[in-house]
Structure 1
Amino acid sequence: MQIPMDAVLLRIHASERDRFEHQPFHEAVVMKAREAGLKGATVLRGVIGYGHDSRIHTAKILDLSIDLPLVIEIIDDEANITAFLPTLDGMMEFGLVTLEKVRVIRYGAPKDAA
């Protein structure tokens, strides 16, 4: 699979408790991105953060939080990311979504690698 050298990083800030159609939101987004043929997606789990409500979400052992912050990152060329945005919009009630132009310097192993 090839990824263009100039790409766009779609970053979605969410929470572990967020849901879409009875499944975790982050899982639904990754599955939709894969169905759309986007080049790659990763979900990152935060240890502490807050959002629009200013409530701190933390992974401290005493809190045993099940509502930690998540960041979903998806990368592809600008046209494919732009085409995916309406799908994402239909999945989100609220949240923060950012787009960032990135330069890819390496993706995967060389074809002659054993």
Structure 2
Amino acid sequence: MDIPEEAVLLRIFIGEEDRVDGGPLHEAIVLKAREMQLAGATVLRGAMGFGHSSRLHTSKILRLSEDLPLIVEIVDSEDKIDAFLPVLEGLMTGGASALVTLEKARVLQYGPKAD
């Protein structure tokens, strides 16, 4: 699988407690991206953050059960990302509060370096 040098970065900001069909939203996003043969997806967990509600989410010891911020990042061609966006929208119909961004990305390497 190749990614063009001029690609797109899809970044999805959600909460750890966001769900779809009874399971974690971030897992559903990654599995759907894999099913659609996108180049890859990574879930990053934030130690602290807030969103449109201005409610602070933190990983402090006394508040381990808080809804920590997650970021799902996917880089692929613009066409493949554009095809994924309606699917993503369908996954986030359960009331998940999300921020979704797109930006141009220059891919310098994907996979092992050629000798």
- TM-score, with structure 2 as normaliser: 0.92
| Partner residue in 1 for 2:99 | 96
> 1:36-85: CA deviations, max 9, x gaps?
11001000000000011110000011111341000000110000000111
- Show structure 1 runs of 4+ deviating over 2 A: none
Matches within 5 A, 1:27-38: 27-38=27-38
Q: 1:1-114 alignment to 2 at 5 Å?
A: 1-93=1-93, 94-112=97-115
Mark the runs of 5 or more structure 1 residues left unpaired by the alignment: none
Query: RMSD value over aligned CA atoms?
Result: 1.1
Question: Does the CA contact (< 8 Å) of 1:57 and 1:65 recur in 2?
Answer: no
CA contact (8 A) 1:4 1:104 kept: yes
State the Cα distance separating 1:110 from its structure 2 match: 2.8
Sequence identity (%): 61
Gaps of 5+ in 2: none
Which TM-score applies when normalising by structure 1?
A: 0.93
